[in-house]
Structure 1
């Protein structure tokens, strides 16, 4: 349940608008419950495990939000223990905006997208950055050519799933290849058969 997520994110303004729209009572029921962090279940962990990218928002020293795309090999974002997730930070544009933001405010929000299946998971939590060798070793993906410089560790406070409305399906090169391979195999088989028939003609 996204109880803590909803209670944390809904303010007086959004609750007032929900009341006007007639959705407040439904959300109020969803918010009711314990004050402990929303607990990651196997469903969330199974969704997180194969992701090769996500978006992370942090709060800048100027007060402006900053959203950064994070990418890596599939599985680079993973559950560490309990309600904690983490990921290795590979060399990028050297602006250090997210790293700097977390020194002043450790709150982050993550969007994880599964475009082919039109699914989306939102996470909020408290993040820290470390270059501790043990933490880096625990979150390093074997055989990936880039070496991590540091890791982000996030204690998840809440999460919420979104409906698929307005998510446009998008597919990676590997996903397109997987879906088209049976057709390519069939075309190859038919071509070979045609060649055999042509070769058997007197």
Structure 2
């Protein structure tokens, strides 16, 4: 099977741009050879369990993109199985933009960045909004779901590890302290 994430996004205009910029052949090989990337493996599951934030991208019924930052304790995005993830949607600024968009267009993209190691995982999923009492049986006993306004279930359609070239390393205080003084940049 071809690379699911790349197949989803390889629209005619993307293929035209790749052709115009000289990357069409390389990207076609990548789509054909990279594997399906539609089912999380141990590497992806471990990576997601360590993340404490993500960027959630939705699109309005009128086609306008919207990106929202979400955070919580490491592992707040729960992997129920290799194709299903679940996250608590907590009360925030009361705009309900992401939830409203997902009602109209139940698809989302997630970007999860590990800034210290400069790694980035992108996921694309179909989404179902659930009341807290509709939590799947696999979610029983998972931490961090109590107090949710709603639950967001992500049915994975594809993922991709993205290039780290332009990710600036950033550290939480605990990561900086754990890394030790040799990690500190030299003073000019």
TM over 0.5: yes
Normalised by the length of structure 1, the TM-score is 0.79
- On the 8 A contact 1:2/1:158 being kept in 2, the answer is no
Q: List, as ranges, runs of 4+ consecutive aligned residues in structure 1 with deviation greater than 4 Å.
A: none
8 Å Cα contact 2:125-2:157 kept in structure 1? yes
Structure richer in helix, relative to its length: 1
Q: How does 1:87-166 map to 2 (within 5 A)?
A: 87-133=87-133, 135=135, 138=139, 142=143, 147-166=147-166
Residue 36 (structure 1) shift: 6.8
Paired residues, what number?
181
TM-score normalised per structure 2: 0.85
| Structure-1 separation of matches of 2:37 and 2:173 | 37
Deviation, 1:81, is 1.9
Cα pair distance change 1:122/1:2, threshold 3 Å: farther
Deviations 1:136-173 (A, max 9, x none): 8927764x6x7222211000101111111010000001
Unaligned stretches of 5+ residues in structure 1: 183-202
**More displaced stretch, 117-126 vs 5-14:** 5-14
RMSD: 2.8
Where in structure 2 are there 5+ consecutive unaligned residues? 183-188
Q: Is the contact between residue 3 and residue 36 of structure 2 (CA under 8 Å) also seen in structure 1?
A: no
Distance 1:62 1:89, change over 3 A: same
- 2-structure distance, mates of 1:82, 1:47: 13
In the alignment, what sits opposite 1:84? 84
